[in-house]
Structure 1
């Protein structure tokens, strides 16, 4: 396996505007990604994502840097896990959401790259890649459900 990128495509029963809001609004990120954040959806903005383990109370923080915010079409950011205080090229992974209007909803094209560029040993690379793959397989359907609920409420 190459461990170069994780790519997913999903349909969301909500407009690109609603999906973009759910992707970038701290209150909605809390709903679908279970993370607290101070995200500002503007290129160059920095912040962190904070998860709390419900069982132990342990907190995990990941710094991020917004790369592109073009509502309602594209949102991308770099994030890193504990090794650096800021996320940038060479020390982070790049996540991109492309939002394409489709009928009455949105096709979300998701991609996370940069695994090989981190320079991890093979076993570490495989572990990080698989952890992220499983994570996105869990959280992306929650993103779709959150956006669908918001669209239905409007």
Structure 2
């Protein structure tokens, strides 16, 4: 059995702005990672660095410009390695509805529960980054 995390929320920004914020390293570093690299193209590798101990990699397994972006983790924490996370974007009158998922967790353990909570906080940080220009210092993020 696999366990999954889902978060749906509204961002008052264009689909292109949201897509760029979840795929472009210069934006990822403003709401999630300490440093990152990667290109939003199928089978490309992203490096997501949080500290020397958390220097992770994921492979783009689905991408449709301004609509969808998914990474399959390839080198990360043992609980994260079998997982895939991603974003589906939908245009609304107010901007963009984001459907976030992080699927195929092997266990519903403390790390799964903590990650679900952290994603909620980080995704709120993404929303505030795009809507208000707020960048939370890396040390203060979830």
TM class by shorter-chain length?
0.7 to 0.9
1:93 is aligned to 2:92: no
Q: TM-score by structure 2 length?
A: 0.83
Report what 2:18 is aligned to. 19
More strand by share: 2
Report what 2:61 is aligned to. 67
Aligned 1:3-152 pairs, distance under 5 A: 4-52=3-51, 58-79=52-73, 80-82=75-77, 91-116=81-106, 125-149=108-132
Cα distance in 2, alignment partners of residues 67 and 73 from structure 1: 14
In the TM superposition, residue 59 of structure 1 has moved relative to its aligned partner by 4.3
In the TM superposition, residue 34 of structure 1 has moved relative to its aligned partner by 3.2
Q: Which runs of 5+ in 1 are unaligned?
A: 53-57
Q: Please give the secondary structure, in 1, of the residue aligned with 2:62.
A: strand
More helix by share: 1
Contact 1:93 1:114 (C-alpha < 8 Å) held by counterparts: yes
Q: TM-score by structure 1 length?
A: 0.77
> C-alpha root-mean-square deviation of aligned residues, in Å?
2.0
Contact 1:28 1:146 (C-alpha < 8 Å) held by counterparts: no
Q: Please give the secondary structure, in 1, of the residue aligned with 2:5.
A: strand
Q: Which runs of 5+ in 2 are unaligned?
A: 134-142
Bigger Rg over Cα: 1
Deviation beyond 4 Å, 4+ runs, structure 1:
none
